[in-house]
Structure 1
Amino acid sequence: MTDTASLVRRWRQERGLSQTELAQLIGTGQAAISRIENGRDVPTLPLLTRIATALECRVSIAFESVEDTAVHSRE
């Protein structure tokens, strides 16, 4: 399960919603919520925004620095 999948499930459960109820709130089907929560589908940013609005939370995307591990030789 991906981080996104587990977060969607956790927030939905904390709000006391079933997959069907969340799906109705955002205008999609229960199967789509199931696929997201099981990590089989990666939701688009617009869909994540609709989910977040329905769950009264916000979407946060972070970029982190990746250290250069390549070895450089001097000539």
Structure 2
Amino acid sequence: MIMWESINPTTDELISLDMILMDEEGQTIHAFTWKNLIDTFRSKIKEQSIYAFNNLKVVESTKCRPTSNENKYFLHTTQR
């Protein structure tokens, strides 16, 4: 897992905490948590670690994405 903060370049406002997740088959997906949930997850997730997640929402990406897969993002019910 690789993690970074997405910042609005016009306002310098934090938008989301983004990450690239990889499954056991090597498939990657762009995941993120909205700004209001960053504090909930930042301390629980470390780069280059292995986790099992529950309650993720998978939606098709309509904007630029860093992987060829769909976006997946964390909900308030997501658990590690």
TM-score (norm 1): 0.24
Find the structure with the greater CA-based Rg: 1
| Structure (1 or 2) with the greater helix fraction | 1
| Structure (1 or 2) with the greater strand fraction | 2
